[in-house]
Amino acid sequence: MLYSEKVMDHFTNPRNVGEIENADGIGEVGNVKCGDIMKIYIKVDKGIITDVKFKTFGCGSAIASSSMATEMIKGKSIEDALELTNKAVVEALDGLPAHKVHCSVLAEEAVKAAVKDYYDKNGIEYDETKFCDGDCCHCSKHSEE
């Protein structure tokens, strides 16, 4: 099989699909030209992510990575969400094929982009260099392991 059972489970029964009206932060990364776009919505209450939803255009592993990433940050603090790495997503999914690792990178960046949007909306200061510009086709920040 191309994908682990975990990936297939999150792909065929994705968790937290949808949109949040009046979300506190929205992050969108990817490029339709490359074949994947992820959009993550977060609801934040007293620094805790109380709700999270996503929509993804992309392959099976992109959908599974977004589903897993939303599960991993739900109920966590904003700071914890920022610590989410693509590696952790891959591990939680019991692995991804080598050429699909970029999907997990996209999930990590989508979460960060949502947090950044939350910071921007609330006038909270942050370190710009920790966030990507969302141009995944030309991203050199992450190596595909």
Partner 1 sequence: MRIYADNAATTKVSPKVIEVMLPYFDKVYGNPSSLHTRGQEAAEALYEAREKIASLIGAEAREIYFTSGGSEADNQAIMSAARAGAKKDKKHIVSTKFEHHAVLHTLKRLEREGFEVTLVDVNENGIVKAEDIEKAIKEDTCLVTVMFANNEIGTIQPIAEIGALCHEKGVLFHTDAVQAAGHLDLDVKALSVDMLSASAHKFHGPKGVGFLYCKRGVVLKPLIEGGAQERGKRAGTENIPSIMGMAVALEEATSKIKENTEKLIPMRDKLIHGLEKIPHSRINGDKEKRLPGNVNICFEGIEGESLLLLLDAKGIEASSGSACTSGSLDPSHVLLSIGLPHDVAHGSLRVTISEETTDEEIDYIIKSVGEVVEYLRGISPVWEELIKGKREFILK
- Phi, psi dihedral angles at 64 (to 5 degrees): -65, -40
42 binds partner 1 (CB under 8 A): no
> What phi-psi label fits residue 67: left (phi over 0), alpha (psi between -120 and 50 degrees) or beta?
alpha
Distances (CA, A) of 32 to 16, 28, 121: 22, 11, 26
Instruction: Answer yes or no: are the C-beta atoms of 103 and 133 closer than 8 Å.
Output: no
Chosen residue from 9, 28, 71, 80 binding partner 1 by CB under 8 A: 28
Choose the stretch contacting partner 1; rule: CB under 8 A; options: 36-44, 76-84, 85-93, 120-128. Answer: 36-44
- Count the residues of the shown chain that bind partner 1, applying the rule CB under 8 A: 28
Chosen residue from 39, 43, 112, 116 binding partner 1 by CB under 8 A: 39
Q: Which residues bind partner 1 (CB under 8 A)?
A: 2-3, 8, 11-12, 14, 17, 19, 28, 32-39, 55-60, 62-63, 99-100, 137
